[in-house]
């Protein structure tokens, strides 16, 4: 089973939604967590946007990347363009992708669009990891 880390600046929205999708859609196929360059809190808009499509992320919480070891993960996915800010040991994993999705925290009205983009990317990721 592949181990996936979703990482973002604050682990408050995009990476939390990705973790929620991956846990739901990749259940039994991948092991997943998320973290941030710095920890904060899961945005209520992220929780509500996911809840609107039947995925509950209320038990998820923001975690700092420093709590994890890169060698524990096969795939590292940056959702915010923060790949350039990651320590090199994180970007040399078997799989590294930088999705560079818009930050809905700055424009709350785009949460549904970003959520749908995250879902599409997570579905593609799961499919590629199964091959």
Catalytic residues: 8, 80
* 25, 53 contact by CB (below 8 A): no
CA-CA-CA-CA torsion sign (43, 101, 81, 94): positive
* 114, 44 contact by CB (below 8 A): no
> What whole-number distance in Å separates Cα of residue 119 and Cα of residue 22?
8
Beta bridge partners of residue 34, listed in sequence order: 6
């Amino acid at each position: 089973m592949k181990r996936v880390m979703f990482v973002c600046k604050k682990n408050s929205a995009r990476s939390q939604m990705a973790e929620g999708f991956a846990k739901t859609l990749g259940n039994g196929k991948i092991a997943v967590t998320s973290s941030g360059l710095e920890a904060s809190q899961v945005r209520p808009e992220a929780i509500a946007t996911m809840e609107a499509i039947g995925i509950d992320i209320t038990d998820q919480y923001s975690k700092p990347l420093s709590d994890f070891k890169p060698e524990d993960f096969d795939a590292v996915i940056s959702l915010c363009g923060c790949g350039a800010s990651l320590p090199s040991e994180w970007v040399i994993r078997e799989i590294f992708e930088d999705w560079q999705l818009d930050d809905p925290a700055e424009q709350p009205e785009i949460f549904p669009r970003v959520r749908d983009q995250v879902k599409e990317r997570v579905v593609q990721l799961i499919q590629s990891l199964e091959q």
